[in-house]
Amino acid sequence: MCTSSKQKEMSGPRGVKYPLRGAAHVVRGATDIAVEPVFLAPMSGITDLPFRRTVRAQGAGLVVSEMIACEDLVNEKEEVMLRARREAAEEPMAVQLAGREPHWMTEAAKIAEGSGARIIDINMGCPAKKVVGGLSGSALMRDLDHALTLIDATLGAVDVPVTLKMRTGWDKDCRNAPELAARAESAGVSLITVHGRTRNQFYTGRADWAFVRQVKDAVNVPVIVNGDICTTDDAHAALAQSGADGVMVGRGAQGAPWRLAQIKSSLAGHSVPDDPDTEQRLDIILEHYEAMLEHYGEALGVRCARKHLAWYVEDHERCNKISLRSAKSDMCRMGDPADVRAALKSIFSDDAVAVAVQEQVA
């Protein structure tokens, strides 16, 4: 069995105005939503309802929807309505909106609030060419006046707290996250998340957790540090370097939806739960798989689930130091859910682990 990183003492960052080990408070007017300081990052095509449910069931803090394009939400585009689906058990959660025109931000925010969203997050961090080319996502970090127009439009449309997710800036010569954060706070934004890379880095290099301290020092609202946080040690280091009030985890939860609960436990000063054993993993995966088939329908569900199943196998391989490459690629080509279930049962069995270990030795 693979055990998690050992418990470490939390370093005491400067200027902390919110308790690090306790909840982060998302406050707007009389509304005060206390959220555990370990957030699941929004990831398009990944953090859909079945995955968020799986992560929540393991014990995460706040979860955030996939990015929803405002115009598509207003026009009730079918694919977007699927992305926008939520369930009561995950509340309070944040619904993330992306847009470039105040009109669409206003209408979409009203729809999200009307459908029960308790927090609305604005995306100013997406680096994708398609999004940036449409002048939304991280392109807004090149035009802070326009970014503020969108923030004002969203805040003016709803009563629920509005939060903001950004990068450190557009490129290394324009790392203006502290300025955007300060202006967003003055406008009324309740919490800020910073992915410690510039837009031009996309996902290369390392997230600069220390730079996030400049954002933390620029505002009084809670700041969440994001980027490359995959283990409890990463979370402690990111908090110590940034002074942030919480962490957001994205890719580190792929194939390991229990990771957020481990980090949460560690940050609270408790012992870190072990990774699930093989049998427990299988139960989690099968439940996630069934939820995907139900959410997307069988044909689409089988295809959408493949990347998750591959990540589950990869985490299992990593923990047991074994290779299951051919079993994984066979499973990811299967079209019949009954075959996939049988393949999962075969891969996630103590016998398969023992055989793979023997093959390594031979």
Binding residues (CB under 6 A) for ligand FMN: these are 41-46, 66-67, 96, 123, 125-126, 165, 195, 226-229, 249-252
- Concatenate the DSSP letters of all residues of 71-110 into one string: HHHHTT-HHHHHHT---GGG-S-EEEEE-S-HHHHHHHHH
Block residue for tokens 């408790």 = 270
- 106 or 136: whose CB is closer to ligand FMN? 136
Segments of the chain assigned E as strands: 24-28, 31-35, 38-40, 68-69, 94-98, 119-124, 162-169, 191-198, 223-226, 246-249
70 is catalytic: no
- 213 or 259: whose CB is closer to ligand FMN? 259
Rounded to 10°, the helix 298-320/278-296 angle is: 160
> Residue 154: CB partners within 8 Å, gap ≥ 6?
97, 105, 106, 109, 120, 122, 162
- 125 or 276: whose CB is closer to ligand FMN? 125
Within 10 A of 165 (CB to CB), how many other CB atoms are there? 28
The single residue of 70, 126, 304, 319 carrying the catalytic annotation is 126
What minimum distance in Å lies between the beta carbon of 337 and ligand FMN? 24
Alpha carbon of residue 94 to chain centroid: 11
What minimum distance in Å lies between the beta carbon of 193 and ligand FMN? 8
Phi, psi of 192, deg, nearest 5: -130, 130
What minimum distance in Å lies between the beta carbon of 303 and ligand FMN? 16
Looking at residue 76, its amino acid is E
User: Using CA atoms, how far apart are residues 320 and 350, in angstroms rounded to an integer?
Assistant: 11
Segments of 199-253 assigned E as strands: 223-226, 246-249
What minimum distance in Å lies between the beta carbon of 277 and ligand FMN? 25
30 burial level (CB within 10 Å; 0-12, 13-18, 19+): exposed
What minimum distance in Å lies between the beta carbon of 233 and ligand FMN? 14
Q: Are 284 and 307 in contact (CB under 8 A)?
A: no
Cβ-closest position to ligand FMN: 250
Within 10 A of 48 (CB to CB), how many other CB atoms are there? 21
What minimum distance in Å lies between the beta carbon of 202 and ligand FMN? 10
Which residues are catalytic, by number? 126
